[in-house]
Each structure stands twice: as structure tokens, then as C-alpha cells.
């Protein structure tokens, strides 16, 4: 899987998490806003005092003294105008609370599943990264080993050329090589031939020293590359064993809660 696709999937997972938490918070605020307010007590009506009707004269004891009784209905009016007790505030229905709890539980389960998928994707990314590192390390080790083989071949060629030059520098060989020059000064011809061979031998020896030092560095690099390859292979094998040993959890269906 390309790296940009993994990054895009991670971004989508993060957006889903943020939207889920926003929905939970918004639904909780909506429920709090819908709670009924407590009803206030109505104002107590003031009692109205009316003139009582005049009672007709009777034969009671009051008639002897000439007193007139006045009957007031203020108490009755006051009793009739007493406010009724306010009704208690309505509490949220139980089914609504159960539905809210069920919604929160569902969103929480979805978030947990997304977290598990994100963790699995991260593990897969690390595994792929280790695989790429192992491939690059193997390629580098092969390149270094190929360079080492070429260097060893050059060393063999230089050593063979040095042997030829040493053989040519022998006095009898130098003299035999200068016999066909046709000069009146054979000593000068032999000295010139000898200087030429010695100069070439010095150049070959210098090149041989450089190639031998390069061979030493290549041998060290090849050893380090092989050690890195072995380490990455061991790490990948351990990660593969952990992935194979991890149990696969199957989500169990959740029973809906019955409203109380």
C-alpha cells in the first residue's frame, strides 16, 4: 500500500473520531436544553370584601338588646381564592435516557473499533518499512560484494604485472631486449630500458597499494552490511511471529437494552 494512501486513511479515521465526539456533546446539550422548567406559583388573589346582607329580625336573644349581627364572607372568599399547589417539574422520561445511553455506547464502540484499526494499520506500516529496509540492505550488501570481487580481480592483475616487470628487469632480459636497437652505445640503451621498467613498476605498485586499501574498506563494509541484513531478518521474523500469535477478536452482537 503506498504511503500517501495510508496517510489519507489515518486522516479519515481522525476526522471520524472528532465528528463522533462532537455528535455526543451536541446531543447531550440538546437533552439539557429540553428539560422542562419548574412552574412558578401563581400570584395570590387578594380577597374581596363585600357588604353582607342584613339579616331579618328574629326572636333570638340578640333582638332583646337591639344589636344587629354582621356576617362577613371574607374568610370564605379568602379560602376560595387560595392558590392550588404547583405541579412538580417533569423529569426526563426513562426511555429517552436509555436511548441516549445506547447512542453513547454505540459511538464508544465505533471509536474503539477505529482505534484498533488504526493500531493495526500502524503495525502494518512498520512491517512494510522494515521490509523495505531489509531489501535496501540486501541490495547494498550485493553491490559491496560485487565491488569487492572487482577489486580482488584488479589486485590479481597488478600482481601479475609486477611479476612480469620484475622478470623484465633482470640484467640478461634487459640486455636481450636492447640487442635489436642497433645503437653504438648499448649501455645507454640498457639504462633507458631499465629506467622505463622501474618507472612502470613504481606506478603499478602505487596502484596496487590503493586497491589493497580499498579492498580492506570493502571487506569491512560487506561485513557490516551482512550483519545489518541478519538483524533486520531476525526482527521481521519476530514481528511475523507476534502477528501470527495475536488472537483475532470477533465483535459480539450487543443486545439492545429494554426501556424501564
Give domain limits for the chain.
Answer: 3-31+94-245
User: How many other CB atoms sit within 10 Å of the CB of residue 209?
Assistant: 11
pLDDT classification of 64: cutoffs 50, 70, 90: very low
For residue 197, give the nearest of 250, 161, 228, 247 by alpha carbon. 161
Q: Which of 25-29, 101-105, 121-125, 194-198 has the lowest mean pLDDT?
A: 25-29
pLDDT tens track for 214-245: 999 999 999 999 999 999 999 888 888 877 77
Residue 195 has a pLDDT of 92
pLDDT classification of 164: cutoffs 50, 70, 90: very high
Residue 203 has a pLDDT of 94
pLDDT tens track for 166-217: 999 898 888 888 876 666 677 888 888 899 999 999 999 999 999 999 999 9
Round the average pLDDT of the chain to a whole number and report it.
75
Residue 207 has a pLDDT of 94
For the cut 90, the answer to whether the pLDDT of residue 66 exceeds it is no
90-94 long-range Cβ contacts below 8 angstroms, 24+ apart:
90/36, 92/31, 92/34, 92/35, 94/259, 94/260
Amino acid at each position: 500500500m503506498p504511503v500517501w494512501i495510508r496517510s489519507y486513511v489515518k486522516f479519515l479515521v481522525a476526522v471520524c473520531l472528532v465528528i463522533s465526539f462532537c455528535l455526543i456533546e451536541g446531543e447531550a446539550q440538546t437533552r439539557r436544553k429540553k428539560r422542562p422548567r419548574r412552574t412558578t406559583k401563581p400570584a395570590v388573589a387578594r380577597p374581596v370584601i363585600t357588604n353582607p346582607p342584613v339579616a331579618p329580625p328574629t326572636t333570638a336573644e340578640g333582638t332583646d338588646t337591639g344589636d344587629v349581627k354582621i356576617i362577613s364572607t371574607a374568610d370564605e372568599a379568602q379560602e376560595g381564592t387560595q392558590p392550588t399547589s404547583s405541579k412538580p417539574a417533569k423529569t426526563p422520561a426513562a426511555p429517552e435516557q436509555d436511548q441516549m445511553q445506547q447512542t453513547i455506547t454505540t459511538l464508544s464502540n465505533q471509536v474503539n473499533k477505529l482505534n484498533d484499526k488504526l493500531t493495526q494499520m500502524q503495525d502494518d506500516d512498520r512491517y512494510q518499512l522494515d521490509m523495505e529496509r531489509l531489501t535496501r540492505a540486501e541490495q547494498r550488501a550485493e553491490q559491496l560484494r560485487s565491488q569487492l570481487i572487482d577489486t580482488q580481480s584488479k589486485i590479481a592483475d597488478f600482481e601479475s604485472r609486477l611479476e612480469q616487470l620484475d622478470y623484465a628487469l633482470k640484467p640478461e632480459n634487459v640486455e636481450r631486449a636492447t640487442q635489436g636497437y642497433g645503437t653504438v652505445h648499448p649501455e645507454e640503451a640498457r639504462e633507458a630500458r631499465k629506467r622505463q621498467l622501474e618507472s612502470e613498476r613504481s606506478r603499478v605498485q602505487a596502484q596496487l597499494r590503493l586497491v589493497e586499501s580499498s579492498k580492506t574498506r570493502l571487506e569491512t563494509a560487506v561485513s557490516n552490511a551482512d550483519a545489518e541484513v541478519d538483524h533486520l531478518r531476525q526482527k521481521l521474523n519476530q514481528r511475523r511471529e507476534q502477528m501470527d500469535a495475536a488472537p483475532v477478536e470477533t465483535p459480539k452482537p450487543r443486545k439492545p437494552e429494554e426501556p424501564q
